[in-house]
C-alpha cells in the first residue's frame, strides 16, 4: 500500500463523524445523569434534614427524661439509692444518659466525569501516505 484509497479515506471520515457524534451523545448523557443525580440528592438532603431535626428532638426528650429521673433519684435517701429500687433507678438513668442518637450524615456523591481522548481528531490526523 502506497497511500490510503479514496474508499479508505471515506471510511475514515465516516468513522470520525460517527465517533465525534457518539462522543457528543456521551457528554450529553453524562451531563443529564449529573443533573438528575443533583436533583435527586436535593430530596435526599431535605429528607435527611427532617430526620436530623427529629433526632435532635429525640435527644432533647431523652435528656429531659434523664434530668427528671436524676432529680427523683437525688431526692431519695442514700439507703434507698443503695437498695434494689435505687439500683433500678440508677440503671434506668444510665440507659437515658448513654443513649446514642446519630444524625444522618449523607454527602452528595461526586458527579461523573469523563475526559476521554478525542479519537475523531486522532483518526483525522493519521497520515494518508508515508510522505
Q: Is the pLDDT of residue 52 over 90?
A: yes
Looking at per-residue confidence, does 126 or 35 come out higher?
35
Per-residue pLDDT, averaged over 60-86, amounts to 95
Rounded to an integer, the average pLDDT of 44-56 is 97
* Model confidence at 28: pLDDT above 90: yes
Question: Which residues are within 8 A (CB) of 52 and not within 5 positions of it... i.e. 6 or more apart?
Answer: 103, 104
Q: For residue 56, what is its C-alpha cell?
A: 435532635
Cell numbers placing 117: 481522548
- pLDDT, residue 1, reads 79
Angle between helices 6-74 and 84-98 (to 10 degrees): 150
The set of residues, in sequence order, having a beta carbon less than 8 Å from that of 114 and lying 6+ positions away, is 26, 27, 30
Q: Is the pLDDT of residue 115 over 90?
A: no
Percent of the chain with pLDDT over 70: 100
Show the cell assigned to 11.
471510511
Amino acid at each position: 500500500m502506497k497511500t490510503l484509497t479514496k474508499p479508505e479515506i471515506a471510511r475514515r471520515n465516516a468513522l470520525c463523524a460517527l465517533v465525534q457524534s457518539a462522543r457528543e451523545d456521551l457528554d450529553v448523557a453524562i451531563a443529564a445523569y449529573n443533573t438528575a443525580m443533583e436533583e435527586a440528592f436535593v430530596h435526599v438532603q431535605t429528607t435527611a434534614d427532617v430526620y436530623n431535626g427529629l433526632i435532635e428532638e429525640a435527644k432533647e426528650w431523652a435528656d429531659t427524661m434523664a434530668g427528671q429521673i436524676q432529680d427523683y433519684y437525688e431526692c431519695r435517701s442514700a439507703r434507698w439509692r443503695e437498695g434494689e429500687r435505687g439500683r433500678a433507678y440508677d440503671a434506668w438513668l444510665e440507659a437515658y444518659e448513654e443513649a446514642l442518637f446519630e444524625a444522618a450524615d449523607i454527602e452528595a456523591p461526586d458527579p461523573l466525569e469523563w475526559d476521554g481522548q478525542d479519537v475523531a481528531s486522532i483518526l483525522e490526523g493519521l497520515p494518508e501516505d508515508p510522505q
